[in-house]
Structure 1
Amino acid sequence: MSHETDALLRRRDDSSLSHHPAPRGPFVRAVVLAVGALVLSAVLYATAATPSSWKKTVKILGHTHSSSDPLSILFDETLDGKELFYEQQTLDHLSNDEDAKKTWSHRYYKISKHFRGPGHPIIMVIGGEDALTGPLHPFIEEGMASKFGAFVIEPEHRFYGKSTPVENASVHDYIKYLSPDQALLDAIQLLQTTRQTLGCSLDRSSPFYCPAISVGASYPGFLSAMLRYVYADFVDMSFAASAPIRLYSQTNDANAYYDKVSEVAEQMSPGCANAVRSTMEAVQDTVLSSNWTVSEAAANLGFCPNDLPEYIQDLDTLVSEGVVYMLPAIFADFNMFSYPPGPQTPNVMACNVFQNDNLTPLEKIQGFFELRGLVEYGETVECFDLGLELPTGPNARIMGSDWSGSGGGKTGEIWEFQCCKDLIIRSGYSNTSMFIPREWTYEWHDEHCRQRFPGITLNSFRLEQKWHFDQLAGASRIVFTNGMNDGWSAAGSFLEDVNDSVVAITIADGAHHSDLGGKYPDEKDTDAVKEAQVQVMSILEQWLEEIYATQSYNI
């Protein structure tokens, strides 16, 4: 951890808390915060007239716009939802060498229009395994922030999008700088810097302390929970949606994910599971017993024959990568976003293709890949381009370390590295699933990852050995939500309360973090999702009130 980060994270001497007078009621709190808001307004007014030479010396939050004053940036509502950059993010939080002194430019977004000043929460929404091109979750930015008078800040995950700690990063750079550990400390450093810039006290007993709420979904949901669990001195509570915690501690059933995907497809369209399995087996037999060339087979499967990855040189590899692996991975995507439930969900439409008795097995496969193009790109594509599914980097294959779908391009390479090194995703196809059985093994994983990223050190249990999060022993103030139609709900998510303040909310007709939604409020949301949103805000509000009740007001 760098000296700069250490200074930001240094805890206040607990002995100082004893000098405050006894806590007072909510009326006194309201008066104190109102006075604080007036002071802040005066500071903002004065800042506008501050000489530019002084502004340069206090620049904390860099950005792409004209002003260089951090306070005015954070409070400028015209910058809400715009791309901003924190210029002083630490390259390596985990060392004391020269890298601890190096910095990089960390992209983030903020929403300040609801913030009612010091004493109100900061909500940190964690970015994940893709570029962050804008605010993520309207339920948070419009619903929760408005209710709590909160400031929202959303950092992009290091190495994704424009958050590049190292240009033209090598495997060695990934090994040293790309990990959940570094990502958590990025978030903590940005949180503490934001607190100080907003004028928030770092003392929890002060009425001007800004409680931090971490929020994330899926892998970022795991990060959100870990921010509270590992760094409870800085993060006051966590909201983690569709966060498969035990997937990353390696205690989940390796077949549970695709078994659940199959179960949900069958529930949504009875007969689907058998139709999918029989089609896959028929197509596999047809292709492998044919005299087709690889290009001919690719065309007959609906792939673009001129865009096949170079390593696909035989029919066995084409079927293994393009059918046995690719079809379940696409179904996994369809499963996650089959909400709200109904005939127009990708899951049901895919099942309809396989259950169409007027189509041959090859026509069903072609129709399935056509549907994927329609769902992914919003239009029908002439053929399915397998090359787009290939990650960058040497020794890349479509079937990477994440059998639920590593993704293509540079983003796919970065995610695959993470799934090799720290975020091992055990997701095989059992005989009871609707897919052709394929066992997931550590032996396959390790061999693939060593070929893919030479020099990598593999320890599938490193995170659990470091953080001991499998049971969340001693954890507090974490709320989990899970849609029960989401495959990840069966693959290591907490579906029951851990204790009185680590609570789980299940949503019977929800899919993958459906409660965070793409719109808020959304008239298409089901009653179960709406109720879950109300429950989450009620729980977080209760925890905020517990914090406020311990604060002291010296007026």
Structure 2
Amino acid sequence: MEAAGVGYGSTDNGRDSSWEFPRRDDEVGRPPIFRQIAIGSFCLALVLGLIASQHQRPAILPETLKTGSMVTDNSEAEIGSISRAESHDEYYLHDPSKALFFPQIVDHSKPSSGTFQQRYYENRNYWRGPGHPIFLIFGGEGPLEGILYPFVSEVLAKRFGAVTLNEEHRYFGVSFPVEQPTPKEIAEQLTPRQTLQDVVNLIQYKQRELGCGPRGSPTYCPVMTVGASYAGLLSVLARKTYPDVVDIGYGGSPCLFLFGHRVSPYHYYEQITLVAERISPGCPDAVRDFVEDTQERLQSIKTGSQDIMHEAKEYGICPHTLPKDMDGPGLAEFLIGITVSYFGNTLMDYYPPGPEAQFYQGCKILQDQSQTFPERINAYIQAMTKKSQCLSIDEYDEEQDDLWGAVCCYLNPQIGKSNATMWPPAEYHLQDDEEYCRENYGIDLDPHYLDKEFGLNDLSGVTRLILTNGANDGWFPLSYTEPLRDNPDIAVFTMENGVHHSELTHQLQVDTPDVERAHQQISDQIAVWLNEIFQNNN
């Protein structure tokens, strides 16, 4: 698996940017990993589920989920007024892998701004007609090439007779409102508000197309939005901001405290360090020893010398791909950054947990005292890339036409490294992000934007909201980990073996008991809420 990340700015700031973070490949298109670590500056850590392209993972469903207890005739009959026998009209059948396009408004604040073709995917194969739910999955910050989460589109949709939609986020993939936008157009059209209004528009269009009746009628189609990571934030905001359109919200690992700036900027890398120690005791110390050894070994090597070429080869880097101005300290920074990126990415895939997982294997390689540190890093790179050859910097250092940085000018995820992590400390500086947004998009970054615009930090009046979290996730401390005492209408599910939205992303042959339990509890909670809505409609 390749690591992912995105970097903006220069290496001069001496820190990893708060906006350069690992992002899942099922959420976003994977950009070159090493711009984030070697160039280092602006949007690194939230990518977890975030710059990789949203390439869909194969929907591998365990047999227990294909025929198991969650998908029973009784549960299928709970919701709606159309019987199963009435649902087999061929009108409802559609290949979920085929892209569809919707004429979306370019700028919702200017209704006469025209339309663009927004890509989306649809699964009607379980749809039982008007009176049954619509599940809308938010696209994240990358190209969308299929419906992302089989737990929603296959398991939940089958139980509740729902149609599943998955829209591509504006200004990612092929869904560009303006083909070659100016910075001003990006600043105006790539706001969270515009993204939410896209979904509202698509939902209302689909309700009409599917023959759904008005709210309160037996043929009303209740709507549940679903999202993970950044898209999980959008799903939460959709339920909070548009409760007359969205009946249930589901945010998988939505990092609400990160976006609401309610916790320290240093929790993310501290959590990765804690998980590494828990999974493989001594792993963080091995990484710290590698950092110290590498910095000392390379500190006096000059640019363009044979020594820099020799050392690169020893560490598993293709010498001919080194930048001409790279010296020993620069190579050390690059190598350290590789571990930062890979640890972040492989932790997101540390499910199901076990010795076969890359995160665990990486720790064991770096803890192997029978090898020198250059030998360990060489082996580490090969294990992470799954290639028995040197790592070419050029392969990962191509510029990406990616507008995640502009999105971050409204989200302002703040990430740094403290002395409690296994890497050199990197203080977070808000002014760096402010400068980036102003110079590139003319956006005056407001760290309180989400709270001012949507009241993000006040969920007291929100009902029918599901939030999930995983205790092994680097983002675990950056969202709710237990039920809210003052709002029992928000259901929080924390999985002890979970990582980043494990219950949505990973449909493997065998799930851990806690994730199996979460699947059942989430499904049952949705059933309760849908029945409440259905009873109110009759």
Report the TM-score when normalising by structure 1: 0.78
In structure 1, how many angstroms separate the alpha carbons of the residues matched to 2:83 and 2:509? 39
Q: Does 1:255 align with 2:266?
A: yes
Using a 3 Å threshold, how does the CA distance of structure 1 residues 468 and 328 change in structure 2: closer, same or farther? same
Matches within 5 A, 1:485-500: 485-497=472-484, 499-500=487-488
Contact 2:152 2:504 in 1 (8 A): yes
Encode CA deviations 1:472-502: one digit per residue, 9 max, x unaligned.
1311111111111001111234533351111
Q: Does 1:92 align with 2:103?
A: no
In structure 2, how many angstroms separate the alpha carbons of the residues matched to 1:224 and 1:433? 31
The structural deviation recorded for 1:152 is: 0.4
**Aligned pair partner of 1:527 in 513, 517, 532:** 513
Aligned partner of 1:546 in structure 2 is 532
The structural deviation recorded for 1:347 is: 1.1
Contact 1:431 1:437 in 2 (8 A): yes
Q: Does 1:507 align with 2:518?
A: no
In structure 1, how many angstroms separate the alpha carbons of the residues matched to 2:481 and 2:104? 33
Matches within 5 A, 1:2-21: none
Contact 2:127 2:163 in 1 (8 A): yes
The structural deviation recorded for 1:31 is: 12
| Letter aligned with residue 292 of structure 2 | E
Number of residue pairs aligned between Structure 1 and Structure 2: 459
Give the secondary-structure state (helix, strand or coil) at the position aligned to 1:85: strand
The structural deviation recorded for 1:94 is: 2.4
The structural deviation recorded for 1:326 is: 3.6
The structural deviation recorded for 1:433 is: 1.1
Give the secondary-structure state (helix, strand or coil) at the position aligned to 2:468: strand
The structural deviation recorded for 1:391 is: 6.4
Aligned partner of 1:302 in structure 2 is 316
In structure 2, how many angstroms separate the alpha carbons of the residues matched to 1:388 and 1:425? 28
Using a 3 Å threshold, how does the CA distance of structure 1 residues 341 and 455 change in structure 2: closer, same or farther? same
The structural deviation recorded for 1:246 is: 1.6
Aligned partner of 1:268 in structure 2 is 279
Encode CA deviations 1:395-423: one digit per residue, 9 max, x unaligned.
xxxxxxxxxxxxxx22xx3222322x112
The structural deviation recorded for 1:508 is: 0.6
Moved more, 180-189 or 204-213: 180-189
Using a 3 Å threshold, how does the CA distance of structure 1 residues 314 and 457 change in structure 2: closer, same or farther? farther
| Letter aligned with residue 194 of structure 1 | K
Aligned partner of 2:390 in structure 1 is 383
Encode CA deviations 1:314-344: one digit per residue, 9 max, x unaligned.
4444433x23434212211111110101101
In structure 2, how many angstroms separate the alpha carbons of the residues matched to 1:266 and 1:388? 32
The structural deviation recorded for 1:454 is: 5.3
Aligned partner of 1:165 in structure 2 is 177
Aligned partner of 1:80 in structure 2 is 96
Aligned partner of 1:442 in structure 2 is 430
| Letter aligned with residue 81 of structure 2 | L
Aligned partner of 1:146 in structure 2 is 158
- Is there any run of 5+ residues in structure 2 with no aligned partner, and where? 1-73
Encode CA deviations 1:164-209: one digit per residue, 9 max, x unaligned.
22213343332121122211111111111001000001x2210100
Contact 2:301 2:329 in 1 (8 A): no
In structure 2, how many angstroms separate the alpha carbons of the residues matched to 1:445 and 1:474? 32
Using a 3 Å threshold, how does the CA distance of structure 1 residues 339 and 111 change in structure 2: closer, same or farther? same
Give the secondary-structure state (helix, strand or coil) at the position aligned to 2:107: coil
In structure 2, how many angstroms separate the alpha carbons of the residues matched to 1:337 and 1:389? 21
Give the secondary-structure state (helix, strand or coil) at the position aligned to 1:533: helix
Aligned partner of 2:244 in structure 1 is 233
The structural deviation recorded for 1:449 is: 4.3
CA RMSD of aligned residues (A): 2.5
Contact 2:265 2:414 in 1 (8 A): yes
Q: Does 1:331 align with 2:343?
A: yes
In structure 1, how many angstroms separate the alpha carbons of the residues matched to 2:78 and 2:419? 61
Contact 2:82 2:131 in 1 (8 A): no
In structure 2, how many angstroms separate the alpha carbons of the residues matched to 1:30 and 1:431? 53
- Is there any run of 5+ residues in structure 1 with no aligned partner, and where? 1-25, 46-71, 375-379, 393-408
The structural deviation recorded for 1:36 is: 12
**Aligned pair partner of 2:81 in 20, 33, 53:** 33
The structural deviation recorded for 1:250 is: 1.5
| Letter aligned with residue 464 of structure 1 | D
Aligned partner of 1:127 in structure 2 is 139
Aligned partner of 2:442 in structure 1 is 455
In structure 2, how many angstroms separate the alpha carbons of the residues matched to 1:135 and 1:111? 8
Contact 2:251 2:466 in 1 (8 A): yes
The structural deviation recorded for 1:514 is: 0.9
The structural deviation recorded for 1:80 is: 2.2
**Aligned pair partner of 1:467 in 454, 457, 466:** 454
Contact 2:131 2:219 in 1 (8 A): yes
In structure 2, how many angstroms separate the alpha carbons of the residues matched to 1:345 and 1:31? 40
